Chains A and B, each alone.
Chain A
Amino acid sequence: MDVSMETAGSGMWSRFGAWLDEEHSASKRFLVSGAIWALAGTFFGLLAALEYWLPDLVHNIPQLSFGRLRPTHVNAVAFGFLSMANIGAILYVVPELCRTKLSSERAANILMLAWNAVIIGMVLCLTNGITEGREYAEMPWFLDLAVMGALILYCWIVWSTILNRQEKQLYVSLWYIAGTTMWFPIVYLIGNKVFFSVTGIGDAIANWFYGHNILGLWFTTNGIGLTYYFLPKITKNPLYSHLLSIVGFSTIAMFYTPTGTHHLLQSPVPEWLKAVAVISSIMLLVPVMSVLVNFWLTMKGKWGMMAGNLPLRFFITGMWFYLLTCFTGPFQATRWINWYLHFTHWVVGHAHFALLGTFGFVAWGAVYYVLPRVTGKQWYSRRLATAHYWLSLVGTCIMIIALTVAGLIQAAAWEQGEVVYRGVVMYQPFMAMRALSGVLIVLGQVFFVYNVIKTVWGSEVLAEEPLEAPLPSQAQA
């Protein structure tokens, strides 16, 4: 009996080991988790938007109070959806670019389990009011430690794969990805109180250093790194300029990192620090424009592919949003514009510009491109994917317009000396508009997740055009 128990036990363990070691499984599972967290995260956002518009909709349920849903939404989409979809794509892209296998599929799968556990823990903690109360760094200390461990493990997986490479050169995507694995743990270390603690208003400086760099040295570098891979790969055009990619990469760490204090321009923090933040915010146009010019010129002659190729359409849409994000960003970080716009919904709109419009679309595109390649299956439905694209695009545009207009109303009302809450009454119709956009986006995610599940676990493929259809003219040839 003992023996049979033992074999049963070891059989379970070996099956689990085999499950961990399946080739490409970590990438696939990361992408699927990312898709599911995209639905969950946007749903939290929708609920928060509805409560913002109809404050008596839900009450007496502390877990669903607006003040708790908002951080849950932000963390679920940032750490759940975007981070996991990015890592899933990176776990596919890095071995491809290195012409080798992932150094340890098992470690990557453990990372995937740990990451999901952290996000589930985060949702439970934040909805139950266990929070550190600092923007983007709400997770309590034990989850911070877990994230730190996960980031170090991720760094090791990426670097051990890169060091095993069969390819002489490191492509620009790998610079971004490998750099991120080293930079972001440092940023996370500074941003979370369990590692680096400052009291008083200085805490806000550390918080916003982290709060802005989670964007600059995590989502941007991962998303841009991936786009650097996907655009030439899909269009089969060579990258337009190696020099521009060097300029873009080497300036990103320089100009992105000091910008955090532009969130505190009218707060009592040192003026020189504000000056550094504003100048570097404007200088951000250098890495942004060098990257975008490089992308647009790489696309030369292949713009029509967007019609047939859905992943490419997602990437290009994301990069157009990136252009708009990074033009409004430096301009609203200048002192005079910030004077008018700070604390308004304009800034919330800007955050959705960057994280939903830009890196959300890049992450979706990455899922659509990578998932068939790591599962060896065709996408279940192109129509669902197209619906997902249009719902997300229209939803994002409506949301950004609503929040931007609401922000301008707030700013004008305050400038005229209106008390804050009367401004709330004025822009409430736009909050209804935002909730509507949330409905569209969540609906898009429902199609997305359904499509992902049918693709990964189902066996049928609807008789539609494939997701990466060639140009109509090429199809005839």
Chain B
Amino acid sequence: MSTNRTNYLYPSIGMGLILASIIFVVILVPRWTFRPPKPDYLRDYTAQELRGREIYKREGCWYCHSQVSRPQDWDHGPISHSSDYYYDQYHLVGSERSGPDLANIGGKFPNEYHILHHQNPRYVKPGSNMPRYDYLSMQELVDLTAYLQSLGAYGTRALDPKSGEMKYAKFVHSNYDGKDEVVAVWKDGVQGREQLAKELYNEHPEVPYKYTKEIEELVYTTPKEKELQNAKTPVNAMVKKVFANEDELADARKADEFAKAWTEVSFKEPEVEPTDPVALASLQKIRQIANQGRGLFNNECSTCHGLAGDGMGWSAYSMTKRPANFHEAKFANYNTDTWFWRISVGVPGTQMPVWEKTLGADQRMYLAAYLKYIAQNGGLGKLAGMPAEQYGLPPSAYGIKTEAAASAAPSK
């Protein structure tokens, strides 16, 4: 019987070899060659954060919240790097984004916010369709919050006391245990919760932490960092924080120099793209920072100021004092400090909000950069194709050689 049968041995071996070679290429080769180095800006999870991570996994949070900030994302913090996942025993990258990306959620909201939000997301985000996690115990909620606060750095870095180098301040609130305060609020029952929610909600559903001296203390802890605090304006400090994200700016002194230069630097696009790689990198960095603010602008400002920034948003028609048109010539003279100040304190007598109440300092910083950019270029300029241009390049491609950039960038 068997002698009559067609021999399928060789085709079978061939198919087996195809599969084996593909597994070799796409599984084993990455297993051996793709080993992101241990990053110096990251620390391992604490036991509490790991407990929170288990809860995050158990409740399936990762089905709706991704943990990767992509080049095309606005408002999700620095682009994720492969080393960011160094301490992850299992990945929680996720495949769908029904809720915001959480790669950089740490430090964005206060602990109380997270706990309220998990109790009932609609306390703080009306319209949210996140499930209630009111069945979690308070200990579990605190653990989960500790994990969330450990994620990413929300664009901030601090000096490492030991090495004196700029590093991620992974989890700004890391030593802050809000447990007691929250439990105290909980004892007041629903009323206490709603009162807290009201305070946190504050008109805008996105509630970033407020930029205060305390936050600055938390971020800048070393004597060397105190120098940065003595900068003239919070803008200067924020510029440093924003730019200090790049590895090339690890040296705090250089960051300081660059920050000083940057507040006065022109954001006008040159006629021809510079060929000098350093100048080009500087330009790309400016575009990138401005682009970060674009998301915020479209979100928070465009209803009045219009998507184009021309003061023709749909809410504008109902206002007695028309919103500013950023294409007017005078706005091209605003420097970054001025923009930051105007955004922060609002415009008295108009409906322009006092944004420092609702936006974090770095968010206002990005907004300032965007406004300066569109004012000086009379529109979106090169930002229109921004995500496309960023695509496929490693984060270091946008870094800046500090001294060179400061001298190469045209000063106003």
A interface residues (Cβ-Cβ under 8 A, vs B):
51-53, 55-56, 59-62, 65-68, 70-71, 129-135, 165-166, 168-170, 179, 182-183, 186, 190, 193, 198-207, 209, 250, 253-254, 257-258, 260-261, 263-264, 266-271, 273, 276-277, 335, 339, 342-345, 347-348, 410, 414-422, 424-425, 428, 431
Contact = CB atoms under 8 A, between A and B. Distances in A.
Contacts of B82: 200-201, 268-269
Given A55-B130, A424-B99, 7 more contacts: A68-B59, A170-B8, A200-B82, A203-B91, A273-B34, A417-B295, A425-B127
Contact of B5 (A62, A168, A182, A200): A168
B3 to A, nearest CB: 10
A201 B93 contact: yes
From A52, A131, A417, name the one whose CB has the most chain B CB atoms within 10 angstroms: A417
A410 B15 contact: no
Contacts of B62: 133
Nearest to B33: A270
A137 B334 CA distance: 55
B135 A62 contact: yes
B391 interface: yes
A421 B71 contact: no
Interface stretch (B17-25, B218-226, B312-320): B17-25
Given A60-B134, A129-B59, A200-B88, A421 B22 contact: no
Which label, helix, strand, loop or mixed, suits the secondary structure of the A interface?
helix
A421 B100 contact: yes
Task: Give 6 closest A-B pairs by Cβ, nearest first.
Answer: A67-B60, A417-B295, A133-B57, A343-B97, A417-B298, A268-B82
Interface stretch (B73-81, B167-175, B345-353): B73-81
B295 A253 contact: no
Contacts of B10: none
Contacts of A205: 26-27, 30, 34
Contacts of B192: none
Given A68-B59, A170-B8, A206-B27, A266 B68 contact: yes
Nearest to B126: A425
Interface string B1-16: 1001110100000111
B298 A421 contact: no
Contact of A428 (B30, B87, B90, B129): B129
A200 to B, nearest CB: 4
Nearest to A190: B27
Categorize the interface residue count of chain B. Answer: 35 or more
B357 to A, nearest CB: 18
B328 to A, nearest CB: 23
Contacts of B299: 417-419, 422
Which label, helix, strand, loop or mixed, suits the secondary structure of the B interface?
loop
23 contacts: A55-B131, A56-B132, A59-B134, A133-B58, A168-B6, A169-B6, A190-B27, A199-B90, A200-B91, A201-B85, A204-B91, A204-B93, A257-B19, A257-B26, A335-B391, A414-B72, A414-B73, A419-B295, A421-B99, A421-B125, A421-B205, A424-B99, A424-B128
B261 to A, nearest CB: 28
Contacts, number: 221
Nearest to A410: B97
Contacts of A347: 95-96
B296 interface: yes
Interface of B: 1, 4-6, 8, 14-16, 18-19, 22-23, 25-27, 30-31, 33-36, 57-64, 66, 68, 70-75, 80-82, 84-101, 121-122, 125, 127-135, 205-206, 294-299, 307, 387, 391-392
Contacts of A418: 298-299
A419 B75 contact: yes
A221 to B, nearest CB: 11
A367 to B, nearest CB: 29
Given A168-B4, A203-B88, A271-B392, A253 B22 contact: yes
From B63, B75, B91, B299, name the one whose CB has the most chain A CB atoms within 10 angstroms: B91
Contacts of B88: 199-201, 203
Contacts of A198: 31
A258 B16 contact: no
Nearest to B20: A186
Contacts of A199: 88-90
A273 B26 contact: yes
Nearest to A62: B135
A420 B63 contact: no
Given A134-B91, A186-B23, A66 B60 contact: yes
A422 B299 CA distance: 10
Given A168-B4, A200-B85, A417-B298, A348 B96 contact: yes
A59 B1 CA distance: 64
Given A59-B134, A253-B18, A339-B391, A200 B72 contact: no
A65 B90 CA distance: 22
B22 A61 contact: no
A199 B34 CA distance: 11
Contact of A131 (B27, B60, B94): B60
A74 B64 CA distance: 15
Contacts of B97: 343-344, 410, 420
